Amino acid sequence: MASILVLNGPNLNLLGRREPHLYGTMTLDDIEQRVRTQANASRVAIDWLQTNHEGVMIDHIHSVLDQPPSGIIINPGAWTHSSVAIRDALSAIECPFVEVHLTNIHSREPFRAHSYFSDQALAVIAGCGAFGYEFAMITLLANLNQG
Ligand code: CA2
C-alpha cells in the first residue's frame, strides 16, 4: 500500500480562524479530512503532522528514514524561507516530495519568493489554496505509477 507523509509547519494550526482573506476559511482539520477522503479512495495511507516546533518536524522526518513513505507533501510555512535544517532532513529521505503553499508566495513580500525546498522538490504548488494538497497527492501518485 502506498503511503504519504503530510508535513505542516508553524502557524498552519490557525487556518480558518485568522486572516481568512489570505489563507481561506478552511481549517487545517478540514484540509486533513479532505486529504484523508482522497487517500482512502486511492488506497493510500496518510501520516499527518502539524507542528510549530522545528525540531519536532526534523525528528519526525528522521523517524521515517529507515522506512520511507512513498512520498511527502510538505507545507513548511515560514520555514520555507529559513530552514536549511529541514531541507537537509528531507534530503536524507529517499522519496520524492511536493512543496505546497496555500498562497502564491511569488505575489507576496519579496522574502517569501525564496524557498529552501523548491529546487529539490518533485513539484511546487502555490496559490491553489487547500486544493494544493489534493493536487500534490495526484502528482505523487502519478509519479509512483510511472515507476
Ligand atoms: O502560503 C502558504 O501556505 C505559506 O506556507 C503559509 C505560511 C507563510 O509563512 C508562507 O510564506 C506561505 C504562513 C502560515 C501561517 O498561517 C496562518 C493562518 C492563519 C492565520 C495566521 C497564519
Question: Which strands, in side-by-side order, build the sheet including 44-50?
Answer: 44-50, 2-8, 71-75, 97-101, 123-126
pLDDT-based confidence at 14, cuts 50/70/90? very high
**Separation of alpha carbons 92 and 71, rounded Å:** 13
Tens digit of pLDDT for each residue in 87-126?
Answer: 999 999 999 999 999 999 999 999 999 999 999 999 999 9
pLDDT, the chain, mean: 97
pLDDT-based confidence at 63, cuts 50/70/90? very high
Mutating to test ligand 1, I would choose from 23, 105, 133 the residue with most ligand atoms within 8 A of its C-beta, which is: 23
How does DSSP classify residue 80? Answer: G
- Decide if 123 contacts 136 (C-beta within 8 A): yes
80 lines ligand 1 (CB under 6 A): yes
Please give, one letter per residue, the 3-state secondary structure of 17-72: CCCHHHHCCCCHHHHHHHHHHHHHHCCEEEEEEECCCHHHHHHHHHHCCCCCCCEE
Residue 18: is its pLDDT beyond 90? no
